[in-house]
Amino acid sequence: MIAPCSVYSPPMLARVQSSLLQGIDALSCEVEVDHTDLGDGDEAKSFAAIVGLPDAAVKESLERVRSALTNSGYFFPSGRTIVNLAPADVRKEGPVYDLPIAIGALLVQGIAAPVKPAKAPQKSATQTVDSAGIDHRRYLFAGELALDGRLRPIKGAIALAALAREKGFEGVVIPYDNAAEAAVVEGIAVLGARSLAEVVGLLTGHLEPRPFPSPDVANLLRQASAPIDFAEIKGQESVKRAIVVAAAGGHNLVMLGPAGTGKTMMAKALPGVLPALTPDEAIQVTRIYSAAGQLAPGQGLVTTRPVRTPHHTASGAAIVGGGMIPRPGEISLAHHGVLFLDELPEFPRDVLETLRQPMEDHVVTIARSHSAVRFPANFMLVAAMNPTPRGDIAPGEVGRMEMERYLSKLSGPLLDRIDIHIEAPAVPFRELSRRSEQATGTSTAQMREQVAKARERQRRRQGDVPNARLSGKKLDEMAGLDENALTMLGQAMNEMGLSARAFDKLRRIARTIADLADSEGVTAEHVGEAVQYRLLDRKV
C-alpha cells in the first residue's frame, strides 16, 4: 500500500525595514521572514527561530509576536519560519523588532498586503488621494508588542526617523507614544499606532494615514523657563558672580562651603543663566535621552538645558557610560547642560579620574571587542563640597588638619581641570530673615543678560568656541595680557605653585571677566579677580 504524498508549498519570503541602535545613532536593519509550509502530517515539525546575533529580549520576540497576533485576530504561520536580522554580524538587543517581525509574519500569509481598490480613486481639485494602503517597503517599522497587541514605546525613535530621512524612506511606523519625539525630524511622515491592528489597517488601507504634526521647535524653546530663580537664593552674591563668570565662558566650577548654604539650589538654577538651547542642540540632547530611554511617554523634545545629579555611590560606568552594548552615562545625559556632583570628595577617586578625559575632549569613546561607540559629552561640571566630612570646620589647628585630609581625596590633575573654585559661606541671619519681597539679590534675568552680552562678544571674536575651550595659540591671540596683568599673574603662579594648565585656566577666566566688563584687553584687575577663583590652589 502506497502512502499518500505530502503536499509541499514553496517557501515565502517577506522583508520589513527596521533599525538597530548603536550609541545614539540608528543603523539600517532588514528583518527577513522566511516561511515554508510543511506537508500533511508534518505539523509536529513546525518551528520558528530568530538568527542574526539576537540577545535574549529579541529571542523572546517570537512568543510576544505569536500571542499578539492571536489576540489581535490573526495567526502566526505554522510550518518552518526563520527570522533573520541583517546585518548578521552586529548584535541586536531589545524588543524593538516585535512589530517588524509581526508584519513579516502577516506578509508571508498574504494578510497585510494592500487592498487594491475596485477602480481608480477620483481626485478632487483640492485633494490628492493616496493608494489603498501604505507601501511597507517605503517605511521603517519599530515597536514593542504587548501580548494583547498593544504597542509599547521604544528607545531611539528620533534616531530611527533621522535614519529614514537619510536613506530616503517616506516615513516611519512606530508606537504612538514615540510619535511626538520622531516628528521633530522634518521631512518624514511619522505614523503613530496604538496597536498591531492599527498598523495592519494602515497597510491594508482600512485606516487613513494621519502623520503626526511636526512641532514648532523654535517656539517650544522660547517658551522654556528656568525652574529656579536666583532671586530666591538669599545672600551668596559672590557665588552668583562666580556663576556668571562660569556661564559666560563655559568654565567648570566647584563651590566649597558648609552644609545648608544653597550650593545645590544654585547648581540647579544655573541652566537658567545659560543661553537657551538652539534647535540643533535641543535635538542632539533629545537623541541622547531617547537612546537612553529617559524621555517620558509623549515627550517630543528636551527644551531646557539638562542638569544631571548622580549620587556619590554611582559607578564609573553609570557616570561615563558602558554596557555590553554601550549606553550613554550621566556625562552624556548632561550634554549641553550641567553635571552636578554634590559632595565631590565622597565620589570614589577612580570614578572622578574617569572625568578627566571627557572634560578635555568633550566626547566619550567606549571601546568593545566588536566596535567603539562615541557619545557627546560637552557639559559644564559644577561640583559642591563641604570643608570636612561633618559639614563644617572645627576651630584651630585640628580643624585645619581635618580639612586638609578631606580635600586630599581630590587629585591635583582633577582640580586643575576645574577652572573656578569659590567659597560659599554661611548666610547671615539678617539675610535669611528677609522676606522674599524685600530681597535685593541678583536675579536669574539679570545674570542671564550679563552672560548673553559676554557670549555675544566672544561669538564676534572667535565664533562658537567659548573662552573655556580656547586652544593655546588662540588664547595667546585672544587673551593678550598687558604688562601689569602679566606681572600679577607671574606673582600668583610663584606664590601659589600653579601648574601650566592652571596658568592657561587663569588666562581664560580673565578673558571672560574682561568680556563681562566689555573690555577689549585683559588688565590686572581682571587677572586679580581670576586669581581669587583659584581657592583650592592656595596653601591652607
Same domain, 154 and 303: no
Residue 129 or 339, more confident: 339
The larger pLDDT score, comparing residue 6 to residue 373, is at 373
Assess if residue 525 is contained within a domain.
yes
Q: In CATH, what number is assigned to the domain containing residue 264?
A: 3.40.50.300
Which has the closest alpha carbon to 310: 379, 243, 374, 248?
379
Q: Are residues 444 and 491 in the same domain?
A: no
Whether 403 and 443 share a structural domain: yes
Q: Are residues 97 and 165 in the same domain?
A: yes
Residues 358 and 438 in one domain: yes
The answer to whether residues 156 and 278 belong to one domain is no
Q: Residues of the chain with pLDDT > 90: what percent?
A: 50
Question: Of 432, 451, 466, which closes a domain?
Answer: 466
Tell me: do 530 and 385 sit in the same domain: no
- Residue 488 is part of a domain; what is its CATH number? 1.10.8
- Count of domains for the chain: 3
Residue 187 belongs to domain with CATH number: 3.30.230.10
Q: How confident is the model at residue 540 (pLDDT cuts 50, 70, 90)?
A: very low
Residue 353 domain boundaries: 223-466
**DSSP secondary structure string, 289-335?**
HHHTT-SPTT-----S--EE---TT--HHHHHEETTTTEE-HHHHTT
Q: Decide if 214 is inside a domain.
A: no
Residue 520 lies in a domain: yes
Q: Is residue 169 part of a domain?
A: yes
The pLDDT, as a whole number, for residue 122 is: 45
User: Is the same domain home to 461 and 475?
Assistant: no
pLDDT at 369 over 50: yes
Task: Please say which residue of 171, 204, 237 terminates a domain.
Answer: 204
Helix (H) or strand (E) holding 410: none
Q: Is residue 7 part of a domain?
A: no
Domain match, 474 and 461 both: no
Rounded distance between C-alpha atoms, residue 418 and residue 429, angstroms: 31
Instruction: Write out the three cell numbers for 3.
Output: 502512502
Q: Cα dihedral sign for 401, 403, 406, 412?
A: negative
Q: Are residues 301 and 180 part of one domain?
A: no
Q: Is residue 496 assigned to a domain?
A: yes
Of 133, 139, 134, 70, the closest CA to residue 106 belongs to 70
Indicate whether 287 and 322 sit together in one domain: yes
372 vs 202 pLDDT, higher one? 202
CA distances from 540 to 255, 397, 496, 529 (A): 16, 11, 11, 19
436-493: pLDDT as tens digits? 555 567 889 999 999 999 999 999 999 888 999 888 788 888 888 888 888 898 888 8
Q: Higher-confidence residue: 130 or 429?
A: 429
252, 468 in Cβ contact below 8 A? Answer: yes
pLDDT tens for each residue of 241-287:
999 999 999 999 999 988 888 888 899 899 899 999 999 999 999 99
> Looking at 440, 466, 492, which one is the last position of a domain?
466
Residue 234 CA to residue 443 CA, distance in Å, equals: 10
Cell, residue 197: 491592528
CA angle centred on 178, ends 177 and 182, rounded to 5°: 150
State the cell numbers at 138: 517605503
Judge contact between 485 and 526, C-beta under 8 A.
yes
User: Which comes out higher in pLDDT, residue 325 or 12?
Assistant: 12
* Tens of pLDDT, residues 170-225: 999 999 999 999 999 999 999 999 999 999 999 999 999 999 999 988 888 888 87
Q: Is 251 part of a structural domain of the chain?
A: yes
For residue 213, being part of any structural domain is answered with no
Same domain, 434 and 528: no
